[in-house]
Each structure stands twice: as structure tokens, then as C-alpha cells.
Amino acid sequence: MTETGHRWYAVQSQPNAEAKAANHLLRQGFGVYLPRYLKRRRHARKVDMVAAPLFPRYLFVAIDMETQRWRSIFSTVGVSRLVCNGEVPASVPDQVIATLEEREDDKGFVRLDLPPPFKAGDKITVLDGAFTDCLGLVESMPDRRRVSILLDLLGRKVRVLVESDSVAAA
């Protein structure tokens, strides 16, 4: 909770307008929390990290229902709706926000500890590179970014190390 009497509520934004909605809500005096993480983006053979909302189209707003004019949220630029149970806004437990804030790094991005996408023995297909469309088996994952796979090439098994983004489940 940001201050005494304030509770957290979920707001649904318009598509790709989370930051716009957050800025307009801040201008109206509401406390806003927009959890973001660093997303790995691939485009035109280039890989970079970009900030992305942890919950696309959703952000959290701190409202004191007794003292603030909270109905103005419905007409805020970038906002689609305030998540409600019938006519009453649905509050988000303070522990949810606290847990997200605890997982933030020094730059304010939520750290995601994702399980490896593949395990040994999974059948995969290579999506790009020299081995495009080849089928193989996952041998191991030395780290989250690379996968060691066994490909059947020229009648024998060949071990190849590729980026995890370059393979998909077959």
C-alpha cells in the first residue's frame, strides 16, 4: 500500500498504451505501478533487449476510495477499464505488489527466473541458421540461451550448439 487508506487496483489499458495510461493517471494524482521486464527481441537477424510490460495491457493504480475521485479513471487517456467485481473495483492484495517490487533489479525491471524451455530427450526442430528445418533431440542446456542438440546428419548423430530461440518443439 502506498499510503494509509490507499489500496491497489488493476487497470486495463488500451493495446500498447500502458505507459500512456500510467502517465495520465500520475497527472491525476494516483499512485501507479507498471511492472516491466527485459524482453529478448529478435528482428532482422539482430537480437536486443527491450523493456516490456510484465502484464501486457495491465497496470496497477493506488486509490483511496474515500478521498479520491476514482471514477475519473474510466475516462483517462490510454485506459480501457478499471477491473471491477460488478460495480465495485476489485482490489489487488498488497502482497502481490510487494512481491513484484522485491523481484525488481536496480534498474526497476522484474527479474524472471524461467525454467528451461527444453529438457534432455525432447524432440525439436531448428528454426533458422545452417540447420533450418532439421529435426533433432535435446541433449542438454548448458545455459538458458543455448541448447546442445543431436542432429541426424549423413547417417550419424552430430552434436550442435544453437541458441534456444532458434529451436522449437517438434
Quote the pTM value. Answer: 0.67
Beta pairing class for 135-140 and 88-89: unpaired
Q: Is 138 helix (H, G, I), strand (E, B) or coil?
A: strand
Residues 132 and 96 reside in one and the same domain: no
Place of cell 542438440: 149
Same domain flag for 73 and 133: no
Residue 12 sits in the same domain as residue 94: yes
Please say if the pLDDT value at position 4 is more than 80.
Answer: no
CATH of the domain at 41: 3.30.70.940
**Average pLDDT over the chain, rounded to an integer:** 89
Q: Which of 43-52, 78-87, 101-110 has the lowest mean pLDDT?
A: 43-52
Q: Quick check: is 117 in a domain?
A: no
The whole domain housing 141 covers 123-169
What is the residue whose three cell numbers read 532458434?
Answer: 166
* Confidence tier at 111 by pLDDT (50, 70, 90): confident
SS3 breakdown of the chain: % helix, strand, coil, rounded to 5? 15, 45, 40
* 4 contacts 68 by C-beta, under 8 angstroms: no
> 73: how many CB neighbours lie within 10 A of its CB?
21
What is the mean predicted confidence (pLDDT) over 131-156?
Answer: 86
Nearest Cα neighbor of 57 from 37, 75, 79 is: 79
Domains contained in the chain, number: 2
Within this chain, do residues 83 and 48 fall inside the same structural domain, yes or no?
yes
